[in-house]
Every structure is written in C-alpha cells, then in structure tokens.
Amino acid sequence: MNRDLANASDVTLAMAISRWDQEALAEVYRRNAGPVFGLARRVLGDAAVAEEVVQEVFLRLWHEPGRYDPERGSLRTFLLSQVHSRSVDMLRSDTARRQREVRDARSTASGQYDVEHEFLDIAVAEGVRDAMGVLQPGERSAIELAYFGGHTYREVASILGEPEGTIKSRIRSGMRRMQSSLAAKGLAVGKMQPAEENP
C-alpha cells in the first residue's frame, strides 16, 4: 500500500478516487469496510445481503465520489449513512413484497376470504406509510430500525450513534405523531414496543 495513501485524509482519498485511483478506493475500503458491514448486518440480519449492500455502497463511491461532502462529516460517516439508507430501503422493499405475497396467498387459497378484511389490511398499510411521512428524519430512522428492523432501544442508539434516552424520546414522539395521523384516518393500531425492551 502506498504510504501516502495510508496516511491520506478523506478529502485526498475522495479526490484520488475521482481520478479512478483504485489504490485510493482500496484504502477507503480497508479503513471502513468493517464498520460499514457491521451496520448493514445489524439492520438487515443477513450477512449475505449485507455484503451485497456494502459492495453496492463502495461501487457507488467509485462511480460518484463527488457525492461525498467533507463539510458534512467524515468519509466513514458518509458511508455509514449510505449503507443505513440502502439497508432500510431493502427492508421496506422486502416487507412490501412479503405483504403482497400474503395478500395474494389469501385471495387465491380460499375463495371465501373476506374482501372487507383485505381492504382493511391495505388501508392500514397505506395509513402507516402515510403516517411515516409526517415524522421528523430522526424519528423516522429510529422507528424504522426499532419496528421494521426489530432492534432494541439500545441497538438503535448504537447504530445511529445517539444516546439511548434521545432514541427513546424520538420513538415516543414519532409514535404519537403516527397514532394521531392514523386516528385522523379512522385507523387504530395496538401499542408496539421495540424488541425485548420496554419504553
């Protein structure tokens, strides 16, 4: 490894990558692959899928190094943000696919399935999606990890690098916003809590 690159700053490495310097990308990978993979695996719960996400994030850096803005934080923070966003997108996509499969199975398995219940399922799913849209970004990230990712408060705090008390507060305030939004649509959901912990 080139000693200059081994000691290079994030900005220097990003500039070198923009000139198609493969050694610069290798150095960024050497420095950050461990934490980036760890986050992807915690969010997704699947090592193979996490590896795909990590590869995608580093490939995106190779093709679009200009997306990294050093004024907004370190290159590691940028990569962690990218992998978290992509992992949550994959969870949402997987959840939506499974919901479609369940709906399809219900409608084809029995001709006597109550159509009213199916419409209610769809209405609740759409209501939750709309309710997520009224959340602040910090609330949305915490709730996605806690409820869609199945993480505890402590795990969410660790993933997002925030104090546990802050995470609890964001989840509570976000859930209040969501419940108000759902109630306004005439929908109600039971009280949910992150895995293995009480609020």
| pLDDT per residue as tens digits for the range 44-91 | 888 999 999 999 999 999 999 999 999 988 999 999 999 999 998 888
Q: What is the mean pLDDT of the chain?
A: 80
Percent of the chain with pLDDT over 90: 34
R_g of the chain computed on alpha carbons? 20
Q: Residue 16 pLDDT more than 90?
A: yes
CA–CA separation, 116 and 36 (whole Å): 44
Q: Where in the chain is the domain with CATH 1.10.10.10?
A: 114-199
- 161 versus 118: the higher-pLDDT residue is 161
**Strand (E) positions, the chain?**
none
Counting Cα atoms < 13 Å in the Cβ hemisphere of 38 gives: 9
User: In whole angstroms, what separates CA 141 from the centre of its chain?
Assistant: 7
**Model pTM greater than 0.75?**
no
Residue with tokens 């939004």: 181
Instruction: Please report, for residues 33, 46, 48, 152, 191, the alpha-carbon distance to residue 38 in angstroms, rounded to integers and kept in the order given.
Output: 8, 11, 12, 16, 30
Contact at 8 Å (CB) between 5 and 27? yes
Contact at 8 Å (CB) between 148 and 91? yes
Mean pLDDT throughout 22-44?
A: 92
Q: Where in the chain is the domain with CATH 1.10.1740.10?
A: 3-82
Give the CATH class of 114-199. Answer: mainly alpha
Counting Cα atoms < 13 Å in the Cβ hemisphere of 195 gives: 11
Q: Hey, which CATH number is domain 3-82, 3.90.320.10, 3.40.50.300, 3.40.50.10880, 1.10.1740.10?
A: 1.10.1740.10
Q: Residue 160 pLDDT more than 50?
A: yes
Q: Output the CA angle 57-62-65, nearest 5 degrees.
A: 95
Two structure tokens written together for 148: 């869609």
| Predicted pLDDT of residue 159 | 87
User: In whole angstroms, what separates CA 160 from the centre of its chain?
Assistant: 10
pLDDT tier for residue 28 given thresholds of 50, 70 and 90: very high
pLDDT tier for residue 104 given thresholds of 50, 70 and 90: low
| Predicted pLDDT of residue 90 | 84
Question: What are the phi and psi torsion angles at 65 (to 5°)?
Answer: -65, -20
Question: What are the phi and psi torsion angles at 190 (to 5°)?
Answer: -70, 165
CA–CA separation, 155 and 15 (whole Å): 34
CA–CA separation, 195 and 197 (whole Å): 6
Element of type H or E holding 54 = helix 47-63
Two structure tokens written together for 110: 């029995």
